[in-house]
Structure 1
Amino acid sequence: MTHGLITGGLVPTTTFTASEDELGILSFALVEAVEEPQRVLELVNWLRTLGIGAYDIVDRLVSSLGSLRLWEPRLVLLRDMLDRGDDRDQTLIEMAWTLTQLQQWPTAQALVLDTLEQRTRPASVELLRAMVMLADTVRAPEAGQWADRLVRAGGELPELAYLSSEMIEAEERATQAPELELRVLLRDGTMTIDPSIDPRTIKEQMLAATILSLDPEQARQMRDEVAAKDPETFAKVRRYLPAGLRPESPAEMHFATAENLFAQRRFREAITEYKAVIDLEPDHQVAHLWLGDAHFMLGEYAIAAAYFEESIAIRPTPQAYRFLGDAIVRGQGDLHLARRHYEQALALDPAYGGASEALQQVNEALSNPDRGW
């Protein structure tokens, strides 16, 4: 029977009781007999009639098809499994991976999104982690969006070989996001309250919405007033505020102040605050990066380059390499060295438009030295 299956013979119509060893032999036979998608289904349906476990032999076949990169038969089999009510995350993940290998990444995303709409948040974490890893593997432009969904669902980003700038930003946004979703909005003097709001939280949410409607300086003043007058209420209010308005440590307070000063182009004052962050947290990679950027904005390119290098030493990021290249171009004028840093930024994130444009400009300048920079 096994020989007949391997050589393309007809699928048996008989049934029998199979031992574990016999199932192992059959699984090898299946691997040799799966070049045609329809034959895969015939074999699997026959195996189902034998009363074999619901998933074991089929999962083994799915794995073997993937190892052999037989994506079309694998797709047919996985679709049949889903149609038969297989609602395991692993089956859906294998389906998404197979579609992606067949250059059908949009279809893979649509399939998973449709499933996620029917899931509660905790039940979606593992599926989201898998999609982040898949998007990372194929370097899909939507990688950052999947990372955002994962961190919002309470999951942690996996360790990845390739980390796009969008995914880095998603991770940083997650650390800055409010703990609770605000259901009150104050804009242009009009306050809108979501009807689904818990009545017991209206006061704290109205205060949070008022703080967020103000400019940064006024927002901090009101925040401090609420914290001083009613610490118990503020403990509730702060959970609806972004990180910049709910600093919990001296380093975070200095960082929030530095960000505000930088936005106002008060770079010298921002430098003092960024340095205060680093004094408290020497490995604060972002503080090193923005400290270098503040010096760059003041035309102090050599100092800026030193801080960009410190940032890279803590955690290499595409932005730090790109900023370092810019500082070298403006300061030393060493286009060859700058080019290497732009290339390193693109090695980390091939879709980084800023680094790509800078590299193109450097290459043009090196090709036409008479034109200058």
Structure 2
Amino acid sequence: MDMQYDQYGRALGVTVDNWQGATPPQRVTLQGRSCRVEPFSRQQHGAGLRAALELDVDGRNWAYLMPRPQSDADWDSWFGMMEDSRDPLFFAIVDQASGQAIGSCSYLRIDPAGGVIEVGWLRFSPLLQRTVAATEAMYLLIRQAFEWGYRRCEWKSNALNAPSLHAAQRLGFTFEGVFRQARVNWGLNRDTAWFSLLDREWPASRAALEAWLDAANFDADGRQRRSLDECRRGLVAQAQQDGVRLASLADLPQLVSLFDGYRQFYGRHDDAVASQAFIRERLLQGDSTILVYEQAGELRGFAQLYPLFSSVGVAPVWLLNDLFVAAQARRGGVGRKLLLAAGELARQHGVARLELSTAHDNLAAQALYESLGWQRDVAFRRYQLVLN
């Protein structure tokens, strides 16, 4: 993915290659090991789902979604809406062993052209809550959304609904913030928490979910051997290798610490808040390329490159503006590896040259640059105009 710029050098956005939109959701059956997710039918699923939901005798599980149906007419009206609706598009969650509908779910806010879809309207009965089937049903629903070509899967919740907030993060969704006073529900203010899971993040989340759902992860009594979080951490540890790679939002906490240390190295005051805002924006906007060096799960250094252009050369140029190695990792070749990786990445992108500047008295850095073939500019003087 490459950032595109207008004639004024302003970043316009990262290219989405060959985007044709996603497939509108279909009324398909999603088959799992402990459950299946079927298009909702009032005749087929209504009685079983009502019986399962009525096991919640005190009604505590209805607090955030909708008022609990009180009469036959209420249940019939709700089931009729679920059967007829196409956005939300409702499904029943059916227990594999008994064949009873024990919950329901839906796709909603469906936007095939934009590649965005939400999973929601989750109604889990006591028979489904905190079971393997509860996790598997969501896995099936999310997996199918990405197979239809959606780029972004959303999860939204009343910001006071702690179990829903926890469930979103457990499944691999990233918290994006709270829309304050988003709605009025039954005369009550609702702040809405937003979560998202992106197509590029899905492979890692899918691997963790499949590792947890694997039959081998449960003993003869059905007890999990490893939690989903343990499965996720295990896969991360397995995938981690010492070396240079592109940074991601998952690196933000460690990367912010490195970046703030870099700023302090150049005489700035400690300002973790400003550092986090700056680095987070770069990662979200994609208007710089950040390389990190990871060792045993810890980030030891980073380099940040900004795109420029050479009018004379009629070619792109990258500015290697930031290079920093944590104090405990210096003299270990980290800086050299970051510089070599930056050069190779630039070549792959057809960049004409890399540029950098360093302090006159930073002799160690100058020696490193020159050992890798960097040439000191003797033809031009560098000027700057400080504006604030």
TM class by smaller structure: under 0.3
TM-score (normalizing by structure 1):
0.26
Where is the strand percentage greater, Structure 1 or Structure 2?
A: 2
TM-score (normalizing by structure 2):
0.26
Which of 1 and 2 has higher RCO (CA within 8 Å, sep 6+)? 2
Where is the helix percentage greater, Structure 1 or Structure 2?
A: 1
